[in-house]
Amino acid sequence: MTETAPRSRREPGSAASVVINAAGLPVQVRDTMPHKENGRIVETATEARSGETRGHMRWVLFVSTIAVVAIFVYLWLHYFV
């Protein structure tokens, strides 16, 4: 038995495709790219926030900003005072 690539059929204007899996059964798959509906871009919440759900980047920005300020204060006091 030879395996073939999944066949897909997409309805015009729809955001989903029907893919025939290895067992020959149709499976509906959501496209991963945002699409337009009625002239507006539609995307999932995960797509809108680029998959980021945690807030750890806020802490990286905060700590690195404080570190840069501390380094500049040290350099100012060391060289100019």
φ, ψ for residue 18 (rounded to 5)? -105, 120
Residue 18 and residue 9 in contact, taking contact as beta carbons nearer than 8 Å: yes
Residue 62's pLDDT is what? 94
Asked whether the predicted pLDDT for residue 77 surpasses 90, the reply is yes
Check: pTM over 0.95? Answer yes or no: no
Model pLDDT for residues 20-64, shown as the tens digit of each residue: 777 887 776 665 677 788 888 888 777 777 766 677 888 899 999
Q: Which of 25, 19, 22 has its CA nearest to residue 7?
A: 19
pLDDT of residue 22: 79
Is the confidence at residue 3, as pLDDT, over 70?
Answer: no
Confidence of residue 8 (pLDDT cuts 50, 70, 90): very low
